[in-house]
């Protein structure tokens, strides 16, 4: 199956003793439930989200926080097929 839009993928780095099960994204300035997309984090820490439109996306991790804060932003340029975006979790 071909999904139109860009792929956001990367690796989630989690400190020993913690785990994170999901990476979620939503378009910037949209916080209604239907705007959220989630990806399960694989055992090796990788995640993949397909079908994202060009624009700025707010990225979060559940159930922990990202080093940079609760969320970070990634921008996907028009026509860009994919973006690699690695994330780090903090103990906060």
Report d(CA 59, CA 86) in Å as an integer: 11
Confirm if 76 and 1 have CB atoms less than 8 A apart: no
Q: pLDDT (tens digit, 9 = 90+) per residue, 27-58?
A: 998 888 888 899 999 988 899 999 999 999 99
The answer to pTM > 0.85 is no
Order the strands of the 22-27 sheet from edge to edge.
Answer: 37-40, 22-27, 55-62, 71-76
Q: pLDDT (tens digit, 9 = 90+) per residue, 52-78?
A: 999 999 998 876 665 555 678 999 999
CATH code that applies to domain 6-90 = 2.60.40.10
Cα 30 to the chain's mean position, in Å?
Answer: 15
Residue 17: band (very low, low, confident or very high) from pLDDT cuts 50, 70, 90: confident
Residue-range domain boundaries for the chain: 6-90
């Amino acid at each position: 199956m071909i999904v139109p839009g860009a792929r956001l993928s990367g690796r989630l780095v989690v400190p020993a003793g913690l785990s994170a099960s999901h990476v979620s994204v939503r378009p910037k300035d949209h916080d209604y439930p239907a705007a959220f997309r989630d990806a399960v984090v694989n055992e090796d820490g990788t995640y993949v989200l397909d079908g994202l439109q060009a624009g700025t996306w707010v990225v979060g991790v559940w159930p922990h926080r990202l080093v940079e804060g609760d969320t970070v932003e990634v921008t996907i340029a028009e026509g860009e097929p994919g973006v690699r975006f690695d994330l780090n979790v903090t103990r906060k």
